[in-house]
Amino acid sequence: KPTPLNNQQNFINNLLEKLKHSLSIALFHFYPLSGHLVTHETQDPPAYNIFVDCSNNNSGAKFIYATLNMTVSDILTPIHVPPIVESFFDLNKIINHDGHTMPLLSIQITELLDGVFIGCSMNHHIADGTSYWNFFNTWSEIFQAEDHGVPISHQPFHNRWLP
């Protein structure tokens, strides 16, 4: 008979694999999040052009698994947000320009003693708040779907202009 510890480890391992798989599908639709920023300078006329390089030559989005010897109640009970919560977000306190050397998207799964915290950090240069929630909801939709071939309900808009 499996021990509770083995059952918990199997649950976490299965959860992590399903999160990674559904994230890879979500990133297919939101491919710029797997890129990095590149600045190209021209002399005539003098200009700086910043673009997202989505080639295979970059490290892509980051996926982190961490554990913390705290409970969900330890995080949610205090009146003020505990400082440890900042560590749940890998790209906390970065600036937009950091997208040249750091990922544009970082997902951190933190296993607590009695739960899991999913931290999603995104460079603001690549997406606004609406786009952030569209990505997160799409990832959730894919995660929950039994058939990963089902089309997503809200396609991302990648143009830099509005029709």
Domain 4-144: give its CATH superfamily: Chloramphenicol acetyltransferase-like domain (3.30.559.10)
Give pLDDT tens digits for 9-47: 899 999 999 999 999 999 999 999 999 989 999 888 889
Q: List the alpha helices (DSSP H) in the chain.
A: 4-29, 72-76, 129-144
pTM of the model: 0.85
Q: What is the pLDDT of residue 162?
A: 62
Q: Which two tokens stand for residue 82?
A: 């505990």
Tokens 């990133």 label which residue? 27
Distance (Å, whole) CA 94 – CA 115: 27
Q: What is the pLDDT of residue 161?
A: 65
Beta strands 115-122 and 62-67: pairing type? unpaired
Nearest Cα neighbor of 61 from 36, 89, 38 is: 36
3-class SS at 31? helix
Nearest Cα neighbor of 19 from 143, 147, 152, 144 is: 143
3-state helix, strand, coil split of the chain in percent (to 5) is 40, 25, 40
Q: What is the pLDDT of residue 54?
A: 86
Q: What is the pLDDT of residue 68?
A: 96
Cβ neighbours of residue 38 closer than 8 Å, sequence gap 6 or more = 50, 51, 52, 53, 100
**Residue 126 CA to its chain's centroid (Å):** 12
Q: What is the pLDDT of residue 158?
A: 72
| Confidence tier at 85 by pLDDT (50, 70, 90) | very high
Cβ pair 62, 101 in contact under 8 A: no
Diameter of the chain by CA atoms? 73
3-class SS at 156? coil
